[in-house]
Amino acid sequence: MRARAAVYRCVVDLDSKHHRDGIQWKVVDLPQMQSQALKACEDGWHSLAMDEASGALDYYRSEWLGPSKECVRAGREASAGKYCWKYGNGHDAFRDLEPLLRCGRRIFVFGEPFRNGKGVHNIHQNQGDPPGSRWAAENGPWQDGAVMVERPDASVAAFLSKFSTQRFCVDEVCA
């Protein structure tokens, strides 16, 4: 991805670890207020504080992202709720992400910068990992990643993804 004079490598991890249901994802249309704020940002890297006021994302605390525990197999979402998650493998998820990328006027990536070089990773949920897992220490609020795309009609869609091993709801949000 090019932003100003820099080229960033953006790693959207859709590896389902050879499980047919290892990835969960959804596409959410952003409300007008959030999409206007996003589109007002200049191109380039923006560091965000881990709180709501900064514009950081939290899949469960950001009401406009449609927090939900509902999940259905990809291809069977017709009868599901508006904010339902789909589940399947990486190829299934990419079928929803690719058309957004192809038609996008602007692409916004939320994630963590590479330690070396220009790039972004952790472009997915970054909380809800099971205690004792190698990623549990990285669990935290207001640090989820996503790909957001401004469509030709000026609306903005967010592609949110998580791994099936991650909980839908963190304890302090569910309590």
Q: pLDDT per residue over 13-66, tens digit each?
A: 988 777 888 999 999 999 998 999 999 999 888 999 999 989 999 999 998 998
Predicted local distance difference test score (pLDDT) of residue 30:
94
Mean pLDDT of the chain: 89
In this prediction the pTM is 0.91
Q: Give the count of domains, the chain.
A: 1
Q: What is the mean pLDDT of residues 142-153?
A: 96
Burial class (CB in 10 A: 0-12, 13-18, 19+), 171: exposed
Specify the residue for token string 């099971």: 130
71 is in which domain, residue-wise? Answer: 2-174
Cα 122 to the center of its chain, rounded Å:
9
